[in-house]
Amino acid sequence: MTGAGTAPPLVPSSGRSYNPVVTLNGWTLPWRMNNGVKEFHLVAELVVREMAPGFKPHMWGYNGQSPGPTIEVVKGDRVHVFVTNRLPEHTSVHWHADEMTQMAMGMMGFNLWTWNSRIFPGIDTLNERLGDKVRIRIGNLTMTNHPMHLHGHEFKVSGGGGGGPWPMAARWPEVTTDVAVGQMRQLEFVVDEESDWAFHCHKSHHTMNAIGHAMPFPRRLA
Ligand SMILES: [Cu+2]
């Protein structure tokens, strides 16, 4: 598995049914059902992640990718996660061992502004049809805030981290929502304008990363 593209959602093959998520430029870790327990296997290891065509940093990650695969469980699941450590040093789950090294190497965030360790133009698009109801969940694993802006649509900010979806009365309309360090935000909208719309952080130096005006750019935006 290269992890370069967005894999189709993992339809649950055992356990209770649910509507699986799509992970942008990522995939969902399969499980094995053993005596009613969902067993997952994580492998912490050195990976090469193609962030954009021709741009391949050496990073630390899980199961061949940085960030690692999505682990999807539903309320009431019993879960075992087996961890194999192929890093050149000790690691621990919750992924806060030796933060300065391991997180900076890609096990949580990296010193470029990316979506799931992918950057334009190497990132998949979020394809929708007119009239589709869309829900996007964002987690900010970086060390600064990102005001996320969607072109062409108003969305409702409908949830955060931990507590799940917010009550209807607590949701509000936005075109930009700031996602603070460590926060999660859930956005919902109905596709009512057909086009190719940008969805991006509104700090312009974040959308540019290290690309200056004098640097060659892989593809024209127009
Ligand atoms: Cu940003």
Separation of alpha carbons 9 and 198, rounded Å: 23
- Domains present along the chain, CATH in parentheses: 1-110 (2.60.40), 133-208 (2.60.40.420)
| pLDDT digit string, tens, across residues 107-162 | 654 867 889 888 888 889 999 999 999 999 999 988 889 999 999 999 999 999 76
How far, in Å, from the CA of 123 to the mean position of ligand 1? 16
| pLDDT digit string, tens, across residues 32-72 | 999 999 999 999 999 998 888 888 889 999 999 888 899 99
Peptide bond into 121 cis (omega under 30): yes
How far, in Å, from the CA of 79 to the mean position of ligand 1? 34
How far, in Å, from the CA of 203 to the mean position of ligand 1? 5
Q: Which residues are CB-neighbours of 7 under 8 A, at least 6 positions away?
A: 23, 26, 27, 28
Q: Is 106 helix (H, G, I), strand (E, B) or coil?
A: helix
| pLDDT digit string, tens, across residues 140-150 | 988 889 999 99
| Listed residue (115, 146, 134) closest to 191, CA to CA | 134
How far, in Å, from the CA of 114 to the mean position of ligand 1? 9
How far, in Å, from the CA of 102 to the mean position of ligand 1? 22
Contact 78, 37 (CB under 8 A): yes
How far, in Å, from the CA of 88 to the mean position of ligand 1? 32
Task: Please name every residue paired with 82 in a beta bridge, in sequence order, or none if there are none.
Answer: 41
